[in-house]
Structure formats: structure tokens, C-alpha cells
Chains A and B, each alone.
Chain A
Amino acid sequence: MSPPNNGAALALENITVTFAARSDGAPPYTAVRDTTLVIGRGEFVSVVGPTGCGKSTLLNVAAGLLTPSGGRVLVFGGNLSGLNRCAGYLFQADALLPWLSALDNVALGLVYRGTPRPEAHERAREWLARVGLSGHGHRYPHQLSGGMKKRVALAQTLIMDPQILLMDEPFSALDIQTRQLMENELLDLWSADRKSVIFITHDLEEAISLSDRVVVLSAGPATHPIGEYPIDLPRPRDVAEIRLTPRFVELHRDIWHTMKDEVMKGYVQSQKA
């Protein structure tokens, strides 16, 4: 099974990730087994799966932060070695540099790239305005609320204009209202220039309302995809309203049917651990 993935933005082919045992005598832990995941150009793909199933591991492989034990990663047809320079990564945890103001955080990538500071700040200010934070640039991360921090992180990633966007449960720590607000904003920003997105989440509703395609992963260890569902809901979408349409409910029921058993397995495993 080797589909022609050269046209894809990102192709993970037969990825296996095995971690060495932490203590002597314990068997090595296989987080991901033989997983193939292809993201087309401009496609928004969500990956859902039960907690602890190795979703983040998969994303770290795509980012080049983690070298897989087996398989290969293609970025726009080229073999990936080292960090994925085409990708921006929005982390689940707080990833802002706590000693830099919001403005400096957003400008950071440009400064790394060698953009003169005044120009970097000018563009950072534009991006802060775009995520609704004008006038908050002087604040330090600890002075911002959870939702604001996520906005800054989004601006920090998007200012680099990455062709591929990797998102690891970016909104999972937010309350439901802020979350839907952020999801709509994300869709707005995305529809402007249609980046290729992998969006990791454990929330099926979030996955369906945002994506073009939803991939369901099995429970860990040795995670692999067990289902793929194209989402044919019309765009532009409003994440709060689309949840009420009959087609959404139908899709939700289909995918949940596949997921349910895996979630139970994941739950049982987490009880054992």
C-alpha cells in the first residue's frame, strides 16, 4: 500500500514509534503502530481518539520533533529529516515564553528569522489586532487569561505563515464559550488562505464542526487509524450552529459508533495503569 503521496502537503507513511523502556526489565512501549495519515493541500483534518492513545506522539513525528522508529514522513513530497520547517505547531500546554511580553512573543519567530525588530513588532501588532488583542501587547503571559494566551500562541504561530499547521488539542483547556469563539476565529483565519491542518482533539463535536475529514484512532498502546470520515458539511460554518443540523447529528452518530469501543478500551487501560 503505497499511494502516490507526492501531491500531499504531509504524508505519514507506516509510522511506528516505540519508546525504550524507562526501567530495566520493562518491555519497550509502542505508542503508534503502522500508521498512515495523508493530509492534502489546504485540507483540514482532525484526528480523534481516546485519551492517551498517542495522538500527540503522531503530531511530534509530523513536526520533526520526534524521529519515528519506522516509516517515513513526506512534506510536499520531500523526505523529512530534522525539524519540519514548513510547519507551525500550536501546543496543548502553555508554550509562550513567560519572560517576553505578548508582542515580543508574537514577533519571536520573525526575529529568529532575522527580520529587523521594528518591522517584526509592526507585523506582530497587526497579528495581535487580528486575534483581537490590540492594546494587550505589553502584557506578560501570566497577566493574560487562558483564552488570551491561546490567541497570542495562535498569532505567534500564524505570523510565520506556515504551510502546514499542527494543532495539539489547542483549546482543550478553555471553557466552552471561549472555545467556540476561538474555533470560529480559527475557521475564519484558516479560510483566508487555506493552510493544511492536522487538528488533534479528543472532542468529536469539535472535530466534526471544524474539519474536512475526521480520522479516528484506536486506543493505545500501538495506536493506528480505525476509521476515516469525510465531513460534507457546507462552509463557511458556525461551530455553535452547525451542531444543530441533522447531517451533523448523523455524522456524529456514525463516528461515535466506531469510537465508542475504543474509548471504553482506553478507559479500562487507564484504570489498569
Chain B
Amino acid sequence: MKPNANNLWLYQILLLVAVFVAWHVLTATEILPPFFFGKPLTVLEKTWEWFASGKIYMHLGITLVETALAFIIGTALGLGIGLWLALSPLWSALLDPYIKAMNSMPRVILAPIFAVWFGLGILSKVALGVTLVFFIVFFNVYQGVKEVSPVVLNNARMLGASSRQLLRTVYLPSATSWVFSSLHTSVGMAFVGAVVGEYLGSAAGVGYLILQAESVFDINTVFAGILVLTAFALALDGLVTFAEKRLLVWRPAQGETEPL
């Protein structure tokens, strides 16, 4: 049976199992030292224990709340400021070097500052996530507004649109479509912000669990944490794909034809 579109998922799962088996064999025969590489069975056991005892839910919940807040606030700010700067050439020209500078700065170095400002609770992680999400959304909105077809714009103006109506019916939909195309990246970034923030200093969250395990060289728990994070990153991505399909019906998919 050759892999094809229908049974591809089966091969994908087999590949995963194969990796785990290889990992198991290599560590069980001590070709790879289990102290540094962990044992897959212990990792799975640890993961199971987290869910069975319910210990993980609180941490996972906090990480997801941080992700959601960072995503929502970052997107709102990026949309608002992106629209404003794209429609106001003067401010855009004035702020241009600062935006470039802030975007090229590695945002992780801000984490200690946010920790001082907002404490070790979820706010400092949200702030870090927001700085990551904001720029992705901002640049996409800015681009979205700049790329509005001049013909569509002139058409709306000839049909009598006021500048507010232009904003609502032309600029905003165009910008949101660009935001949606960057949604995968920005949700991922919100997640990264939350976990990295936790890892750098926190009292709860999956990043915190990983940090704790690492400090006592419990490599199996570190891998378990990574496993859980990966699974949820995948789930978030699926959620985005679903939302995208629902909200961007007006956009032609690649190669889509629809005979009448």
C-alpha cells in the first residue's frame, strides 16, 4: 500500500511511532545516555500522570489564558495602529525608524523588564506575547491597507462613501484578510511569548513545569512538557485553520474553480 492522500494520516502516525521506538531502543541499549535523552516510556508515563492527577490542567489553563490574552491584545493593537499609520503618511514617516528598530530588537530581552513592571503573574507573559504578536499583525495590516486596489477605492468613492465608510467597507476588510493570512504565525508567537515568559520566571504554567524539572535534571519531565506544548500548539493551529475557512469565504482558494 503506497502512501496517498487517503491513507497519509496512517503513515504520519507510523512515522511518529517509529521515532518513539527508535528513541526507546537507543536509550534502552544506552547508545544514547538516558540521563540526557530521557526514556520515552517514562515521558509518556509522566504525561499520563499529569492528566490523570489533574495537576497539568491548572498550568495548561494559565498558559492558554496568557496565549489568548496576548493574541487578542496584540491583534487589536496591531490592527488599530496599523490602520492609523497606513492612513496617516505623516505619522508613518515620523515613526518609521522607531518601528523598524523595535521590530528588529530581540523581544526576549524585554522579559526581565516586564517581570519588574508586571510581576511574575500572567501579565508579564501577556506583555511579552503582545510585543511578539503586535508587529506581525501591524505589518500585515499596514501592507493590507497599502495594497487596496486603487480601482476598488475609486469605485467606493464614486458610489459616495464617506471616509468613515471607506474605512469600514474597504480598508478594514482588506486589512483583516491580511491579518488572517498571518494568523498562524501570530497565534504561534503568542504561545511562544507565554511559554518563554514562564520559562524566564513564573510560579505557574507549562513553561514553569519545564523550568522546575530542568533545575533538578529531570529530563523526562522536560520532554513531557515539550510533548504537551507541541500537542496544544498543533490544536491551536487547527483552530485557526477552522476560523480561517469560516471567515474568508470571499477569498478564492488556490486553484479553486467553481463552475456555475
Question: Chain A interface (Cβ within 8 Å of chain B)?
Answer: 63, 65, 83, 85, 87-89, 91, 93-101, 108-109, 112-113, 140-143, 145, 156-157, 160
Contacts and interface: CB of A to CB of B under 8 A. Distances in A.
A65 B162 CA distance: 14
B156 A88 contact: no
Contacts, number: 72
B68 interface: no
Interface residues of B, number: 24
B159 A98 contact: no
A112 B160 contact: yes
Given A97-B170, A99-B174, 13 more contacts: A63-B154, A65-B154, A83-B158, A91-B155, A95-B152, A96-B155, A97-B156, A97-B173, A98-B251, A100-B169, A100-B250, A108-B159, A143-B258
| 5 nearest A-B residue pairs (beta carbon) | A95-B155, A109-B159, A142-B252, A99-B173, A140-B250
Chain A CB within 10 A, most for which of B154, B159, B174, B252: B159
Contacts of A145: 260
A87 B157 CA distance: 11
Given A97-B169, A98-B250, A83 B157 contact: yes
A109 B160 contact: yes
A89 to B, nearest CB: 4
Contacts of B260: 145
Contacts of A142: 250-252
A160 B159 contact: yes
B42 interface: no
B169 A85 contact: no
B105 interface: no
B177 to A, nearest CB: 7
Interface string B138-166: 00000000000101101111111110010
Chain B, interface SS category:
helix
Contacts of B152: 94-98
A145 B258 CA distance: 10
9 contacts: A65-B158, A85-B160, A89-B158, A98-B250, A99-B177, A99-B250, A112-B160, A143-B258, A157-B159
Contacts of A91: 151, 154-155
A97 B155 CA distance: 9
Nearest to B248: A99
Given A63-B158, A83-B158, A95 B151 contact: yes
Nearest to A85: B160
Contacts of B249: 140
Given A98-B250, A140-B250, A112 B159 contact: yes
A93 B149 CA distance: 10
Contacts of B149: 93-95
A113 B250 contact: no
